[in-house]
Structure 1
Amino acid sequence: MRPNKSKIALISIITFILMTLVSQGAWAKDFIYAPVSNGLQIIDCDTDTIIKTIPYNDTILSAAFSPDGKRYYLNAVQSVYVIDTATDKLIDTLSFSSELSKVSVFGITVSNDGKKLYMCCSITKKKQNIPKLNVLPPQLVEYDIAGRKMVKNYPIPASFSSPITLINDPDHLVLVGLDILKLNLKTGKTEQMMGLLNTKKPEDMRNSLVVWQPGSPGDHGIFVNPYYDAQGLGYFIIDKNTGKLSVLRGKDVWFAYSSILSPDKKFIYAVMDELIKVDMATGETVKAVPLKTGTNYTVALTSDGKKIYVGPAGPDISVYDTKTLELLSVIPLMADGEYMTRFTKR
């Protein structure tokens, strides 16, 4: 029997439509990954409910996705837990200390090829049977994930806990702490991009707490963080695509731990005791609302920019409408936490 030509045409049209929908990310689905004490809780952004908890026995200081989103690395200071995002299972635990060397990790990111971790570390060594400790200067450690070994380490200034990879420049990292530095991964040399503590006259000294990196794999690649000086509130902006740094002066003074840029790059959302919406072009406050759950540390946006997640700090995450800043719901968590990230599965 010959195939019906109209059926063949219909199948071809349906196939084309399905391929178009897939290519445009129509089947993409957002989740919030919230590593709280003793468990990673995964939230479905369609229903704003917890759909899975992955247990561990630890407290997580920070976390980072691999650029392809296949792995989520949870920094527990003395070790790093590895989550497979396809199965949402804990598949490995990376430990760095030994009997003669204690390594504490205070900041973490993943190389562009996903093969290495870059970690801001404190390392203390001792010799066998000698009651004396040798505290090394703070180190930026390059760790080979497959080989499970440290391959390079460079001394860095104290209090730098946020390494940032540059998407199109695998030879450099940006380090944020008491200042903002660019580190050459081939030579270990640093150059100042912006002074925070060590400013140049007539600039004011600046204060900025940089613990959270609210971006998501595949987003616009722009990191925004608040800082304070004698003039008030500002935001430094690092474009991870170009490696360039710029600043935006806020028109009003709000207290904020962290901030995020909307997918359309029009608004900054910042958080501490209020949720603040700021015009990216002018620095003017569009709207601010007090948080009903009190102080919160960080924020995450859905990929369409319609909802913003605030928290955690205590055992909950609040969900707001980005247009109105209306509180939509509060999601209870199993414990307190410090970090969360939105991840889109395709």
Structure 2
Amino acid sequence: MKLNKLFKPAGLVGSLALGSALSAVAPAAMADQEYLLTVTRPNQLHVIDMSTNKIARTCDIPGPFGTGSIALSPDNTHAYVLSNGTKDVYGFDIRNCDITFKAEQSSPTEQVISMQSITVSADGTELYTVQNPVKKLRDRFEVEQPRLAVFNIADGMNAKVVRTFPVDRRITKIATTAQNEIILGGADLKAINPKTGEIRIVTKLANWEKGPLWLPPDAFAMHSQGEQADEYIMPYVTAKFDSEEWNFETAEWWWGMSRVDLKTGKAERMETIPFEFIIFNFITDPRDSNILYGSFNTLSKHDISQNKTLAVREMEHTYYDLNISGDGKTLYVGGTSSDISVHDSDTLEKIGSIQLTGDMSTSDLRVATIKD
């Protein structure tokens, strides 16, 4: 039935009532849609509707499994995945599984591996990887200088490198700031300008100058998934000794982090909570930057303003990573196996589970928010 036929017999009062009803349902119709993204073996990208915790669609990724590293376009409609043993990059429209981008990084004379390192420019026009190249000669392999590689996303299914810049070794997770600097998670946290190759120190880690009583930090950037708080977190472990003799048994052991605000590019480095158990990665509650959650054999909640662990829940098995809903109420803990454990963020109580078709291994757990 046409809307104008509804209005005529009802008169002005009926029209106003219907208008009010339509206004009442409009906000729900325009709500942002959140999707949880992860990759499972043998090599599939899963798009999970977070309003129902059901798989909305599954996209087949060409080539053998890589590490499951995922980068999102700024509008969150496209996901870029490292595949083929992390040699290639594929881009997907997560709304329909269409493959829109392909970059083969290796050649007959050079093998290229990108360990977790993938991100997209702030304007969505370029894709970046850190390439670890090896030259293949007749009688030997030669390890070459790692480099930041830049691709034009508009090149689609035949994307080639348009420029490169030398970078450090040991770089894993990378991210893009609003100023389009690329944060490089390595021995120290650095940032590179992808137009000029200029590099700056963000925070010193391996080379920090904290004094003779502090152990240089052991930093790890396998998973940094701070899209809900618009940040990059690199956790580390350190120790404070009671003398320069460095007695490890009497030392104070700490978790710490270098955290970068991706809106401003500014960073903070701090010791956060006492080291009591292993944590593979941290995420921040989008409602309160002092509240962190961590995962591995436990799911944990921490208040870094008090250097205090608030709650710990033992998990059924190891989970490498976690993410959080945009309202901060629900935690999704994944990686390692074939299930995503769903928890209330206030209590850490388990409230659900999402079963996948294969194990996630080292895969990311990303949240893509598509605005209506």
TM-score under structure 1 normalisation?
A: 0.88
1:315 aligns with 2:338: yes
Q: CA deviation at 1:18?
A: 4.7
Q: CA deviation at 1:224?
A: 2.8
CA distance in 2, matches of 1:151, 1:247: 34
In the TM superposition, what are the counterparts of 1:148-167 in structure 2 within 5 Å? 148-167=159-178
Instruction: Rate the CA distance shift 1:201–1:46 in 2: closer, same or farther, 3 A.
Output: closer
Q: Superposition RMSD on alpha carbons, in Å?
A: 2.3
Structure 2: which 5+ runs fail to align? 241-253
Alignment partner of 1:46 out of 42, 51, 61: 51
Alignment partner of 1:267 out of 291, 312, 320: 291
1:58 aligns with 2:64: yes
Letter in 2 for 1:176: G
CA distance in 2, matches of 1:6, 1:146: 53
Structure 1: which 5+ runs fail to align? none
1:114 aligns with 2:121: no
Q: CA deviation at 1:191?
A: 2.0
SS in 2 for 1:67: coil
CA distance in 2, matches of 1:323, 1:70: 30
Q: CA deviation at 1:78?
A: 1.1
Letter in 2 for 1:116: E
What's the CA shift string for 1:258-281, capped at 9, x where partnerless?
Answer: 111112024100111111101143
Number of the residue aligned with 2:262:
240
Instruction: Rate the CA distance shift 1:92–1:154 in 2: closer, same or farther, 3 A.
Output: closer
CA distance in 2, matches of 1:291, 1:273: 6
1:135 aligns with 2:143: yes
1:340 aligns with 2:365: yes
SS in 1 for 2:224: coil
- Is the Cα contact below 8 Å between 1:33 and 1:340 reproduced in 2? yes
- Is the Cα contact below 8 Å between 1:273 and 1:295 reproduced in 2? yes
CA distance in 1, matches of 2:47, 2:96: 12
- Is the Cα contact below 8 Å between 2:292 and 2:301 reproduced in 1? yes
- Is the Cα contact below 8 Å between 1:319 and 1:327 reproduced in 2? yes
Alignment partner of 1:279 out of 291, 299, 303: 303
CA distance in 1, matches of 2:202, 2:100: 38
In the TM superposition, what are the counterparts of 1:170-209 in structure 2 within 5 Å? 170=180, 172-200=181-209, 202=211, 204-209=215-220
Number of the residue aligned with 1:6:
13
- Is the Cα contact below 8 Å between 2:175 and 2:232 reproduced in 1? no
CA distance in 1, matches of 2:96, 2:369: 14
CA distance in 2, matches of 1:299, 1:69: 18
Q: CA deviation at 1:156?
A: 0.7
CA distance in 2, matches of 1:321, 1:247: 28
Number of the residue aligned with 1:82:
91
Instruction: Rate the CA distance shift 1:51–1:102 in 2: closer, same or farther, 3 A.
Output: same
SS in 2 for 1:146: helix
Number of the residue aligned with 2:113:
104
What's the CA shift string for 1:143-196, capped at 9, x where partnerless?
Answer: 1122312111111110112222111x12x2221111101213333232222222
- Is the Cα contact below 8 Å between 2:175 and 2:182 reproduced in 1? yes
- Is the Cα contact below 8 Å between 2:191 and 2:200 reproduced in 1? yes
Alignment partner of 1:288 out of 295, 312, 322: 312
- Is the Cα contact below 8 Å between 1:248 and 1:283 reproduced in 2? no
- Is the Cα contact below 8 Å between 2:192 and 2:200 reproduced in 1? yes
What's the CA shift string for 1:102-144, capped at 9, x where partnerless?
Answer: 22222000001111111111123357xx555443201111111
CA distance in 2, matches of 1:225, 1:270: 12
TM-score under structure 2 normalisation?
A: 0.83
What count of residue pairs does the alignment treat as equivalent? 336
**Which shifted more, 294-303 or 325-334?**
325-334
Percent identity between matched residues is 25
1:297 aligns with 2:312: no
User: Which is greater in Rg?
Assistant: 2
1:28 aligns with 2:36: no
- Is the Cα contact below 8 Å between 1:122 and 1:136 reproduced in 2? yes
Number of the residue aligned with 2:248:
none
